[in-house]
């Protein structure tokens, strides 16, 4: 195959038999569980979580046979051997997984969906916003994504493959591009002694390359936004550590937007002989799909020198409309390194020319000038190589960057051109890739210092379990890789008259831009608000101005209407797209024209949903409480009044408590709720209580009295109708499932406590009842479900079996579980909270192989649903709850602690919410 190794000497990689490529003449442990709350051996306080072994990786490292620990790899994070294989292979949820009784209930919806799906895909030639027929298949391969917030993302798998792409906003391509690789070349005494693609793949293309790295001697470690891959090169006394860095920086609204990633290679020589080491970074122009097929792609070398720092590399121009872009593969040139390049080769052929070029002298030929444009149907790739001396018992460092410049974008409807956020700081003309590369390679050390300063208080806290430290930061991947878009709002942008009374609307949107992220990579709707309710804790704690921007956008959308009639698939009824003074379900589909056409969701008419308006009110007050932004509260107050007035009609008997409508009229959109319910009734009472607080702050006594009266009546009705002595019943229907134990029944109390309310003078739900309900949920939904190791099932019957009355009641929703855990922590049930959340983390990240694609849901067996979902960002509510619990223990006023948390609105603005130290 042109590898330079005689076929008789080529070996296969088997456990205990590492593959060694030497051309002629060349010389885990078991998972540690959180200690049982009742364990007599545990001498910690009963409601404190246990601290874990830093390298608590379950069985993920059991295959690792190497001894190398890598260069400065942190002890905490998600770690996996490259040879690991997940034993459990689940499948996406589909119609075959629905019980007969539930199938009958949804038969009409199924038929209407099929008709809608056919029209959408075959007539309109569009992708459905939810494709129930072609779910994304299971691929247990994903690692940390590259790229900041809103500029597009590229996911690099834990085995090193570039495999998930979101360059066009909100639209994903799940494709492993074989040519996108790192290759190492070692030379001793002027001879190449080892040359290996750092990939376990054995593809059918580029067959002149030496593939099939032995995964038993390499591992991957992720602590988002950084990741490390450690390669122990068999027989060479050389260890490579590749550190991947992305600028995800809390409270930073500039560098966090950049579409870049950095790869720092630390090479360690454990031998007594010096050598030359080269790392080659090859990259295909495009993904090898239909966007590349017309041809016309071309590559060219570039060099940027600024402030005494030189960067060299290749530009890969991809001019395909409507969103052309340029990729830059670059390296930093130092006094100790040489940077060379290979401008163009065919990634679908043998690759012999570029392989032999590297093999010959450890460098590439570096031809001048641009390549010829690619021909129709013919691919084009390029490569950049960095070479350095590696002294005996010494080390060296090689630095690469990857940048992509798609400054101006159009969504699927092609109605308007938008500029991405990063164009505020770099050119919007499509020529910024060289400058982005230079900036990334010169600034990444500063980024890492800031990342360490942000994460260290959590990582250094010995009271927190290791799995939690991994989950807290790694689940944050979705803020960038949730189809996220961050757009500039130009100064001359017309903001409609509806928002003219919002004093901070224009300043916030113009200074911080417009932010959107998908409900999920498979559920393609921006800013789905009933789910953002859970996920929003990450945004308000880390980028609070983006949360406020999103809230202003939602307020604007609330005041608009779209009276275009359409059929809703669940009921078959015709109703308008959007009614005025109700919160929209979402702000649109990226394959259409989001923000201009909202409510891409056509399953239900969400104008009659009971939770959306309430969730807006609750989030407004929480955001005010955590930021102290009084201008924001004043702007939102009229909108809160409007949506609560719309909500009043659902209290049909005027007892102060709203009633659900006998269908799935809330975020559990396949779980029917009838009459007063624990979930929506609890949210209602919490929202009414918040309105009382806001009315007092806004000086409207009459409105305060009105909502105080509603609250008093509603509290009495809620306890009388739903409390059964152990928990709050699911609803008040005559169906058997009305007395099911819902894991999410305390959601209203959760938000009250997060907002500094819900106890003492502001108590809404009796504290003994809340604690008793949480203990019941822990006993039934957690411990009695799947052996207590899979989190909390949504619904559990009182006799200890999951509620299977709907397709959602017997699911585990990861984001709901994290919110439940936060609620437990708020009420002092810290051990129970950690054990509840741990089940989800270990199921998703260690058992099912769904790292960096945490699903919305999974069942006890066989299936998962909706990969890479927004709701699990709610784990940041656990961190907020922990911080608030710590503050309660400390006698000092919170304002003196430098933690960035407000005790209440009187303290004024404060945004330093980025993971303060509980110490």
Share of the chain above pLDDT 70, in %: 90
664 vs 568: CA distance, rounded Å:
13
Going by C-alpha positions, the residue among 199, 379, 224 that lies closest to residue 292 is 379
For residue 219, is pLDDT > 80?
A: yes
Q: Tens of pLDDT along 141-177?
A: 999 999 999 999 999 999 999 999 999 999 999 999 9
Q: Tens of pLDDT along 559-597?
A: 999 999 999 999 999 999 999 999 999 999 999 999 999
- DSSP letter for 607, please: G
The secondary structure of 368-436, three-state, reads CCCCCCCCCCCCCEEEEEEEEEECCCCEEEEEEEEEEECCEECCCCCCCCEEEHHHHCCCCCCCCHHHH
- Name the band, by pLDDT with cuts 50, 70 and 90, for residue 485: very high
Q: Tens of pLDDT along 418-475?
A: 999 999 999 999 999 999 999 999 999 999 999 999 999 999 999 999 999 999 999 9
- DSSP letter for 805, please: S
- Name the band, by pLDDT with cuts 50, 70 and 90, for residue 56: low
For residue 894, is pLDDT > 50?
A: no
- The pair of structure tokens assigned to 781 is 């939904």
- Name the band, by pLDDT with cuts 50, 70 and 90, for residue 15: low
- Name the band, by pLDDT with cuts 50, 70 and 90, for residue 889: confident
Going by C-alpha positions, the residue among 183, 138, 107 that lies closest to residue 865 is 138
> Which value, to the nearest 10 degrees, does the dihedral of the CA atoms of residues 61, 63, 69, 74 take?
-10
pLDDT confidence of residue 55 = 52
Cβ atoms 215, 60 nearer than 8 A = no
In 149-289, which ranges are E strands?
A: 153-156, 162-166, 173-174, 181-188, 191-197, 218-223, 226-233, 238-245, 260-269, 275-284
Share of the chain above pLDDT 90, in %: 87
Three-state DSSP state, 651 = coil
Interval 664-678 mean pLDDT? 98
Q: Which helix (H) or strand (E) holds 206?
A: none
Q: Which helix (H) or strand (E) holds 73?
A: none
- Name the band, by pLDDT with cuts 50, 70 and 90, for residue 496: low
More confident residue, 433 or 914: 433
Strands 485-487 and 275-284: unpaired
More confident residue, 221 or 53: 221
Strands 91-92 and 863-865: parallel
pTM listed for this prediction: 0.93
The secondary structure of 136-147, three-state, reads CCCCCCCCCEEC
pLDDT confidence of residue 6 = 29
- Name the band, by pLDDT with cuts 50, 70 and 90, for residue 66: very high
Q: Tens of pLDDT along 541-565?
A: 999 999 999 999 999 999 999 999 9
Interval 375-381 mean pLDDT? 97
pLDDT confidence of residue 27 = 33
Which residue, chain included where needed, has tokens 């009110």?
A: 617
Strands 325-333 and 226-233: unpaired
pLDDT confidence of residue 102 = 84
pLDDT confidence of residue 897 = 36
DSSP structure string for 660-707: EEEE--SSSTTS-EEESBHHHHHHHHHHHHHHHHHHHHHT-HHHHHHH
């Amino acid at each position: 195959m042109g590898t330079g190794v005689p076929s008789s000497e080529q070996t296969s990689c088997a456990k205990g038999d590492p593959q060694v490529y030497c051309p002629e003449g060349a010389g885990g442990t078991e998972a540690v569980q959180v200690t049982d709350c009742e364990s007599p051996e545990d001498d910690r306080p009963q409601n404190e979580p246990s601290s874990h072994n830093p390298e608590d990786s379950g069985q993920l490292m059991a295959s690792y046979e190497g001894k190398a620990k890598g260069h400065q790899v942190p002890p905490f994070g998600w770690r996996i051997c490259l040879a690991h294989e997940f034993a459990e292979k689940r499948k996406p949820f589909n119609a075959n997984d629905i019980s007969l009784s539930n199938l009958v209930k949804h038969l009409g919806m199924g038929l209407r969906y099929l008709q809608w799906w056919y029209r959408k895909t075959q007539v309109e030639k569009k992708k459905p916003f939810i494709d129930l027929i072609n779910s994304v298949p299971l691929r247990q391969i994903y690692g940390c994504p590259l790229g900041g917030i809103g500029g597009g993302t590229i996911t690099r798998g834990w085995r090193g493959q570039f495999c998930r792409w979101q360059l066009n906003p909100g639209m994903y391509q799940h494709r492993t591009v074989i040519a996108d690789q790192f290759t190492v070349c070692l030379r001793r005494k002027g001879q190449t002694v080892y040359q290996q693609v750092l990939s376990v793949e054995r593809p059918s293309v580029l067959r002149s390359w030496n593939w099939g790295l032995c995964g038993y001697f390499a591992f991957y470690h992720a602590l988002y936004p950084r990741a490390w891959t450690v390669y122990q090169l068999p027989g060479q006394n050389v260890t490579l550590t590749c550190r991947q860095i992305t600028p995800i920086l809390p409270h930073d609204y500039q560098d966090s937007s950049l579409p870049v990633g950095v790869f720092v290679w630390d090479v360690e020589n454990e031998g007594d002989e010096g050598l030359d080491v080269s790392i080659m970074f090859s990259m295909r122009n495009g993904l090898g799909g239909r966007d590349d097929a017309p041809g016309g792609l071309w590559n060219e070398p570039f060099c940027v020198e600024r402030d005494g720092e030189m960067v060299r590399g290749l530009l890969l121009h991809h001019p395909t409309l409507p969103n052309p872009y340029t990729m830059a593969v670059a390296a930093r040139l130092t006094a100790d390194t040489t940077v060379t390049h290979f401008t163009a080769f065919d990634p679908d052929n043998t690759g012999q020319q570029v392989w032999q070029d590297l093999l010959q002298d450890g460098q590439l030929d570096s031809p001048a000038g641009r390549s010829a444009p690619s021909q129709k149907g013919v691919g084009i790739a390029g490569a950049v190589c960095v070479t350095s001396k590696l002294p005996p018992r010494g080390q060296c460092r090689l630095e690469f960057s990857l940048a992509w410049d798609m400054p101006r974008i159009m969504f699927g409807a092609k109605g308007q051109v938008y500029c991405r956020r990063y164009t505020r700081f770099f050119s919007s003309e499509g020529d910024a890739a060289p400058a982005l590369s230079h900036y990334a390679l010169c600034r990444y050390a500063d980024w890492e210092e800031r990342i360490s300063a942000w994460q260290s208080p959590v990582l250094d806290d010995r009271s927190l379990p290791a799995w939690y430290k991994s989950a807290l930061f790694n689940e944050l991947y979705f803020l960038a890789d949730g189809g996220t878009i961050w757009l500039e709002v130009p100064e001359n942008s017309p903001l409609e008259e509806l928002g003219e009374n919002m004093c901070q609307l224009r300043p916030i949107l113009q200074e911080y831009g417009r932010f959107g992220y998908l409900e999920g990579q498979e559920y393609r709707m921006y800013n789905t608000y009933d789910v953002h309710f859970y996920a929003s804790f990450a945004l308000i704690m880390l980028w609070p101005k983006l949360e406020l921007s999103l809230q202003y956008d939602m307020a604007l959308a609330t005041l608009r209407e779209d009276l275009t009639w359409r059929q809703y698939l669940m009921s078959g009824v015709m109703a308008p797209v959007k009614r005025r003074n109700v919160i929209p379900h979402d702000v649109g589909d990226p394959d259409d024209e989001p923000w201009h056409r909202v409510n891409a969701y056509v399953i239900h008419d969400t104008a009659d949903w009971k939770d959306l308006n309430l969730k807006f009110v609750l989030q407004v007050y929480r955001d005010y409480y955590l930021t102290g932004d009084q201008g924001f509260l004043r702007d939102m107050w009229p909108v809160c009044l409007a949506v609560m007035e719309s909500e009043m009609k659902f209290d049909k008997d005027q007892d102060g408590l709203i009633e659900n409508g006998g269908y799935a009229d809330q975020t559990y959109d396949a779980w029917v709720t009838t009459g007063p319910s624990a979930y929506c009734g609890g949210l209602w009472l919490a929202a009414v209580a918040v309105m009382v607080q806001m009315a007092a702050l806004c000086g409207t006594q009459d409105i305060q009295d009105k909502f105080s009266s509603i609250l008093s009546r509603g509290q009495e009705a809620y306890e009388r109708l739903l409390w059964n002595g152990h928990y709050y019943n699911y609803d008040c229907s005559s169906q058997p499932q009305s007395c099911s134990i819902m894991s999410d029944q305390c959601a209203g109390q959760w938000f009250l406590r997060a907002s500094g309310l819900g106890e003492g003078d502001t108590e809404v739900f009796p504290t003994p009842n809340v604690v008793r309900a949480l203990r019941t949920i822990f006993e039934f939904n957690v411990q009695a479900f799947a052996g207590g190791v899979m989190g909390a099932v949504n619904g559990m019957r009182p006799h200890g079996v999951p509620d299977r009355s709907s397709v959602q009641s017997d699911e585990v929703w990861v984001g709901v579980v994290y919110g439940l855990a936060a609620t437990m922590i708020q009420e002092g049930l810290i051990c129970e909270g950690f054990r509840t959340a741990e089940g989800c983390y270990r199921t998703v990240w260690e058992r099912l192989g769904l790292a960096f694609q945490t699903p919305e849901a999974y069942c006890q067996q066989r299936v998962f649903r909706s990969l890479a979902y927004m709701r699990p960002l709610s784990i940041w509510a656990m961190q907020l709850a922990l911080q608030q619990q710590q503050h309660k223990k400390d006698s000092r006023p919170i304002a003196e602690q430098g933690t960035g948390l407000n005790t209440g609105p009187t303290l004024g603005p404060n945004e330093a919410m980025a993971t303060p130290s509980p110490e």
